[in-house]
């Protein structure tokens, strides 16, 4: 569904709302709710079209620029090793923050401008959780590069579901920790 609705929005306009709709439905599925997937996906896609685009597009734009820079520095050869490593580190940091954006958006109602800072804060203050999320992403990317047909069939959905499931556990743990601190 994510791929169909992203393409239906002309990729650029469809990426944000399709991503948010996928994470919203993954959250509902992780909570064992029942629903009609296509109908709910379309409902969330329409409802969140502008707001989701404003949250997802800056991350997608930065990711596109960093990937372009990384590929450019890779072609330049060994002389640009430091720039390539720096760009890779920036991509890794962006991946860490990006791993929290979708589940954060689906789980919490926040002002638009606060999702990226909150996701950044989670990525920095929860290093074990962040490493686990990046490992799960790496595993899915590795399997997908080994069997590219999986990208169209299962990889995107698997990442969204696993990412949502893990983040919901991390959010519950974080809220419990904050609640216990508040009661002391």
Each residue's pLDDT tens digit, 141-164: 999 999 888 777 788 999 999 999
At 55 the three-state DSSP class reads: helix
Q: CB neighbours of 155 closer than 8 A, spacing ≥ 6?
A: 140, 141, 143, 144
Q: Would you say the pTM of this structure is higher than 0.95? A: no
Mean of the pLDDT values across residues 2-12?
91
- Residue 184 confidence (pLDDT) above 70: no
The pLDDT assigned to 111 comes to: 95
Nearest residue to 110 via CA among 173, 55, 181: 55
- Residue 53 confidence (pLDDT) above 80: yes
Structure tokens at 20: 């948010």
Considering the chain, what percentage of its residues have pLDDT values greater than 70? 99
Report how far apart, in Å, the C-alpha atoms of 100 and of each of 27, 76, 79, 113, 155 are. 13, 33, 34, 15, 18
Q: pLDDT category, 81, cuts 50, 70, 90?
A: confident
Rounded (10°) angle between helices 156-182 and 81-107: 70
Contact 88, 71 (CB under 8 A): no
Structure tokens at 9: 């929005």
Could you tell me how far CA 53 lies from the centroid of its own chain? 13
Q: pLDDT category, 103, cuts 50, 70, 90?
A: very high
Q: What is the overall mean pLDDT for the chain?
A: 93
The pLDDT assigned to 142 comes to: 92
- Residue 87 confidence (pLDDT) above 80: yes
């Amino acid at each position: 569904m994510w791929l169909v609705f992203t393409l239906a929005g002309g990729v650029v306009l469809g990426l944000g709302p399709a991503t948010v709709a996928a994470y919203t439905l993954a959250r509902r599925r992780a909570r064992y709710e029942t629903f009609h997937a296509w109908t709910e996906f379309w409902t969330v896609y329409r409802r969140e079209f502008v707001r989701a685009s404003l949250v997802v597009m800056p991350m997608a734009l930065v990711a596109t620029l960093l990937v372009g820079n990384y590929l450019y520095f890779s072609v330049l050869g060994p002389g640009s090793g430091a720039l390539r490593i720096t760009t890779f580190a920036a991509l890794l940091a962006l991946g860490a923050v990006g791993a929290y954006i979708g589940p954060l958006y689906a789980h919490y109602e926040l002002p638009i401008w606060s999702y990226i800072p909150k996701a950044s804060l989670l990525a920095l203050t929860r290093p074990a959780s962040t490493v686990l999320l990046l490992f799960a992403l790496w595993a899915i990317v590795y399997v997908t590069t080994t069997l590219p047909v999986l990208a169209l069939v299962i990889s995107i959905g698997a990442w969204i579901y696993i990412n949502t499931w893990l983040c919901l556990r991390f959010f519950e743990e974080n809220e419990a920790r904050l609640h216990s601190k508040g009661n002391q």
